[in-house]
Amino acid sequence: MQVNKSLLASSTTMLVLKLLEKEDMYGYQMIEVLAKRSDNTFSLKAGTLYPILHGLEKQGMLSSYEGTTDSARVRKYYNLTSKGRRLLHEKQAEWNAYSDAVNKVLKRGGAGYAFS
């Protein structure tokens, strides 16, 4: 299922932070994992991802280091800082409150009424 783009953009930062919650990743890996975990709903473009990553790094939400994997290539890994972890929790709480509210309206009002 494809999702409206503006809805995706507002939640991308949260998804990026969430991806890094358990392990450090590099950019390409994040796009792959995100697509896999969302059954290809989120096909994040590199053009969207890197500005977000660099912005979050600049704000101190992420830190980066260059590391090698099994292949010889050196990659730039991102790591979630404690500040980033706090931001993730805030964003998640915000998201839950928002989606709960939307669900309540949808259930009570009927779809046609809500979006007329």
Partner 1 sequence: MPSHESISAYINEVCNQVRWKRVRPVIAREIENHIDDQIQSYISSGMEPDEATEKALLQMGDPLEIGSALDRTHRPKPEWSMLILIAAALLIGLAIRMFVSPVNEFGQPLLPSSLLAVAIGVVCMTAVYFFDFSLIGKYPKLTQALIIFSALVTFVLSPRVKGAPLYLYYVVLLLPIAYAAFIYIQRKKGYWGIALSLIAAFVLSGIAFVGSLWSEALLVFLSCLIMLNIAIAKEWFCSKSALGLILTNLSALAGVLAVILTHIEYITRWFGSIGGYYLPNLVKALLRSSKLFGQGDPTLYNVLPFSYDERYLLAYLTHRFGWIAFFVIVTVLTAFIVRGFYLAFKKASILGLFISTAVLLTFTFQTIAYIICNLGFPILFAGTLPFITYGKTATVVNMALIGLMLSVFRTGALRFDNPYDSANSLSKKSHPLN
Which of residues 14 and 49 has its CB atom nearest to partner 1 in the complex? Answer: 49
Decide whether 23 or 94 has the Cβ nearer to partner 1. Answer: 23
- Taking only Cα atoms into account, the Rg of the chain, rounded to an integer number of angstroms, comes to 17
C-beta of 15 vs 31, nearer to partner 1? 31
Q: Does 51 bind partner 1 (CB under 8 A)?
A: yes
Segment near partner 1 (CB under 8 A); pick from 34-42, 44-52, 89-97, 107-115: 44-52
What's the min distance (Å) between Cβ of 10 and partner 1? 16
> Restricting to residues 64-93, which ones interact with partner 1 according to CB under 8 A?
64-69, 73-77, 79, 81
Burial of 93 per CB tally in 10 Å (0-12, 13-18, 19+): exposed
Return the closest-CA partner of residue 61 out of 93, 85, 77: 85
User: Pairing mode, if any, of strands 74-80 and 25-26?
Assistant: antiparallel
User: Residue 44 class from Cβ within 10 Å (0-12 exposed, 13-18 middle, 19+ buried)?
Assistant: buried
Binding site for partner 1 (CB under 8 A): 24, 26-28, 32, 45-48, 50-51, 54-55, 57-58, 60, 63-69, 73-77, 79, 81
